[in-house]
Structure 1
């Protein structure tokens, strides 16, 4: 779980370090927007941006019952972030599994990606799709 917060923490600390100079000189017109930029980036890369993660077993069980896709992701992944942003509110229609929090989820991703933890991996009707087009995933969510 701590691994998911490393990148956001580094971004927040870098932002604080970057504003120390202009902030110390009283240049708040530069310091405040710079700090907000880094804090925004930290927020985007944090697990808070994504819907609540399920375990892989729970996601498979729910997907079998309701037919909704399973999205395997991890914090700090730009492609996962791109998918999440492009799905917007529709992202709540999928079952999300953070592979850094769930070893079974990481194993499921490695099983379909030749041993690599390539995310996002979206499983629809039991078929895995690696880094699919967000428009395609959105269409899959609408059809369920």
Structure 2
């Protein structure tokens, strides 16, 4: 779990340093704007933006029961963020597995990607798809409903 928060915390720390430098140069307005930008960037890269993650085994069980796709992701991944934002509200209907929190999820992604942990990897009906287009994922979700 700590690993998922490293990148957001680094962003907040960098934002604090940059803001302190701006304050020392007499630009408190710029400092506040920069700090806000870094905090927002940290929030977007944190696990808070994504629906609650479940384990890979639980996601597989649920997917077999309801037919919904499984999305393997990790915090800080720009492609995962793109998929999450473009799916909008329908993202909450998918089964999300954070590979940094779940060793079984990381193993499933490595098995699907020749040893690489390439995310997002979306599994539909047992078949993995690496970094699919958000529209395609939306279609797969509509088919499962």
Q: Where on the TM-score scale, by shorter chain, does this alignment land: which range?
A: over 0.9
1:52 aligns with 52
Is the counterpart of residue 86 in structure 1 residue 86 in structure 2?
yes
Unaligned runs of 5+ in 2: none
Cα deviations by residue, 1:93-123 (Å, 9 ceiling, x for unpaired):
1000000000000000000100110000000
Residues 7-86 of structure 1 aligned to structure 2 (within 5 Å): 7-86=7-86
- 2:137 match: secondary structure: helix
The number of aligned residues is 144
**Structure 1 CA distance for aligned equivalents of residues 87 and 75 of structure 2:** 16
1:121 aligns with 121
TM-score by length of 2: 0.96
Cα deviations by residue, 1:112-139 (Å, 9 ceiling, x for unpaired):
1001100000001111100000111112
1:140 aligns with 140
TM-score by length of 1: 0.97
**Structure 1 CA distance for aligned equivalents of residues 104 and 84 of structure 2:** 22
